[in-house]
Amino acid sequence: MRLKKESRVIGFDDGPFSKNQQKTLVVGIITRGGECFDGMIKSEISVDGLDATEIISNVINKSKYKKELRVVMFKGLTIGGFNLIDVEGLNKKTGLPVIIISRKKPDMEKIRKALENFKDWKYRWSIIKKAGRINKLKLKNNKNIYFQFYGLSKNDAEQIILLTCMRSLIPEPLRLAHMIASAFVRGECGGRA
């Protein structure tokens, strides 16, 4: 993968939602590297559903930014509750590599037990397993983050993460997506992404 400092990256996060909500906002923020906010796309997904991969791939593919995007990022494999990102499916539908970021190492046993509350938990678990091994990356401030990747090399994934982590432990497109989604729903944003 040819990476430049101004390579365009899109990061998605959901807006806050309550237990009885059926849908939630999802926002995608496009940045050039981690320095320049370039654009935004938004849609809605089902809370605890299985439509996130399809909806997000559709909004990416219809976006005027599509040709310039180099990678898609998410903060965790779940969005909108337990609506899962199928990294393989998203990669196939968009042609873009996918990086999953976590501040803390995900507790896979705890996640699997939570999934058992769903009738289709085995299918959901198979989606999670597609994301592969959890890797650790030390950032410039000597703090670690964890990541999974699909459709690119580990080295390229690490380079993109380091390129986009400008102001926090979370890459800038994800930090901005979190803040903007929160502001759309609550009228203001704050706190950490």
25, containing H or E segment: strand 23-32
Q: State the pLDDT at residue 36.
A: 83
pLDDT for 55-77, tens place per residue?
999 999 999 999 999 999 999 99
* Spatial CA neighbour of 57 closest among 10, 113, 5: 10
Check if the beta carbon of residue 7 is closer than 8 Å to that of residue 162.
Answer: no
Burial (0-12, 13-18, 19+ Cβ within 10 Å), 181: buried
For a pLDDT cut of 70, what percent of the chain falls above it? 95
Quick one: which H or E segment has residue 12? Answer: strand 8-14
3-state secondary structure 161-193: HHHHCCCCCCCHHHHHHHHHHHHHHHCCCCCCC
Burial class (CB in 10 A: 0-12, 13-18, 19+), 184: middle
Q: Give the pLDDT of residue 169.
A: 84
DSSP-assigned letter for residue 149: E
pTM: 0.93
Average pLDDT over every residue of 86-95: 98
In this prediction, residue 3 has a pLDDT band, given cuts at 50, 70 and 90, of low
The domain 8-186 is placed in CATH, from the list 3.40.50.10420, 3.30.2170.10, 3.90.1150.10, 3.30.70.100, at 3.30.2170.10
